[in-house]
């Protein structure tokens, strides 16, 4: 899958910002991305610190773009754009201080078109990565909240799981938004989306506020995207196993062939993807943030260089697909 995506990304050769320029995993991945000609990495930090760390690791960063907020020649332009974007919520002095922060600085590079996307989170919390994106990049028209999905990969199998990272207790509208945006994310990875809205009930086999929330989300999502193959509420087996689907939901268009799964809560989604990852031996790529005007993606602080490499490619692909 990533060989195919990388070949597509190479054609556009977008610039992607990596604010954590001295992290060894970031350095290893960005040197590889540059060497393979997949994309143009931009590291944020002091050049001498990044070069020193790279020398320790035996890596050559001489070909990488390194932007230091303290010396960046277009810093004043970023400050002015930030003040305008925040609509009076920051003075010039506050803006200058804020934009010394790598994630804010990197996000402004994306917002002003100097980069196509951003990857952070190896050394920062999800909040540190997402907050600047929500304040500056903001969500697309018609999308109220961003959501986080994982691409689950095992051999030729690939599925989308969401929301597994952002919204703790989504309501019906949140679930519907996640479903519609997850379908768009699926298409980025050449997955023809068939979306299942999950619950502990299948088509009314149990009735509670929790199942009714999912049923309502299905109706909202169908209004938002009437051509999308989407159904629910479903237990996982009814969404995934054709023989079970035939018994529990014979009239559903999914027919047990769902490949995009929307969980009813963050706890369900987070537990679900980790079970697939650890017991099912699926590779979990993400979380991929969706619903933003431009791609900003969050690494796990437990990531390795391979995770950074792949999320960089994914972010670049999202940027080219915008």
pLDDT at 243: 96
- Classify residue 89 by burial, with Cβ atoms within 10 Å: 0-12, 13-18, 19+: exposed
Sheet holding 40-44, edge to edge: 65-67, 40-44, 15-18, 117-120, 296-298
Q: Tell whether the torsion through CA atoms of 260, 263, 266 and 270 is positive or negative.
A: negative
Residues 6+ positions from 171 with CB-CB distance below 8 Å: 213
pLDDT at 299: 86
Angle at 295 between CA 156 and CA 304, to 5 degrees: 55
Tokens, residue 321: 């697909």
pLDDT at 193: 97
pLDDT at 152: 94
Element (H, E) at 196: strand 194-198
Closest CA to 175 of 283, 272, 88, 263: 263
pLDDT at 228: 96
- Contact criterion met (CB below 8 Å) for 39 and 16: yes
pLDDT at 322: 65
pLDDT at 124: 80
Core vs surface per residue 90-121: b (16+ CB within 10 A) or e:
beeeebbebbebbbbbbbbbbbbebbbbbbbb
* Total Cβ atoms within 10 A of residue 259: 21
DSSP code for 249: -
Query: Where do the H-state alpha helices sit in 87-171?
Result: 92-98, 102-111, 126-132
* Total Cβ atoms within 10 A of residue 247: 12
Report helix, strand and coil shares of the chain as percent, to nearest 5: 45, 20, 35
DSSP code for 134: I
pLDDT at 286: 80
Cα–chain-centroid distance for residue 195?
18
pLDDT along the chain (322 residues), means of 10: 84 94 93 94 95 93 93 94 89 92 95 94 83 91 90 92 92 96 91 96 92 96 96 95 95 95 96 95 88 90 88 90 70
> Counting runs of H as helices and runs of E as strands, what totals does the chain give?
13, 11
């Amino acid at each position: 899958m990533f060989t195919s995506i990388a070949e597509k990304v190479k054609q556009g050769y977008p610039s992607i910002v990596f604010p954590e320029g001295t992290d060894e995993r970031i350095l290893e991945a960005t040197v590889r991305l540059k060497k393979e000609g997949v994309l143009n990495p931009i590291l944020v930090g002091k050049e001498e610190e990044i070069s020193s760390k790279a020398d320790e690791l035996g890596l050559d960063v001489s070909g990488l773009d390194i932007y230091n907020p303290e010396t960046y020649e277009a810093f004043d332009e970023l400050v002015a754009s930030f003040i305008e974007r925040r609509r009076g919520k920051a003075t010039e002095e506050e803006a200058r201080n804020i934009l010394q922060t790598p994630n804010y600085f990197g996000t402004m590079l994306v917002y002003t078109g100097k980069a196509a996307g951003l990857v952070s989170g190896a050394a920062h919390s999800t909040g540190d990565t997402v907050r600047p994106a929500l304040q500056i990049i903001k969500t697309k028209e018609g999308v109220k909240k961003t959501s986080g999905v994982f691409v689950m990969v095992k051999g030729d199998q690939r599925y989308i799981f969401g929301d597994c990272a952002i919204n703790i207790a989504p309501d019906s509208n949140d679930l519907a938004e996640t479903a519609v945006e997850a379908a768009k994310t699926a298409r980025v990875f050449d997955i023809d989306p068939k979306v299942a809205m999950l619950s502990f009930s299948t088509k009314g086999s149990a009735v509670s506020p929790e199942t009714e929330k999912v049923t309502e989300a299905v109706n909202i999502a169908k209004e938002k995207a009437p051509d999308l193959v989407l159904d629910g509420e479903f237990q996982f087996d009814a969404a995934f196993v054709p023989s079970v689907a035939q018994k529990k939901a014979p009239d559903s268009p999914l027919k047990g062939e769902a490949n995009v799964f929307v969980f009813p809560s963050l706890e369900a989604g987070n537990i679900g993807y980790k079970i697939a990852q650890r017991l099912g031996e699926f590779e979990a790529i993400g979380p991929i943030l969706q619903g933003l005007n431009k791609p900003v993606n969050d690494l796990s602080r437990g990531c390795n260089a391979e995770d950074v490499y792949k999320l960089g490619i994914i972010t670049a692909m999202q940027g080219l697909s915008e």
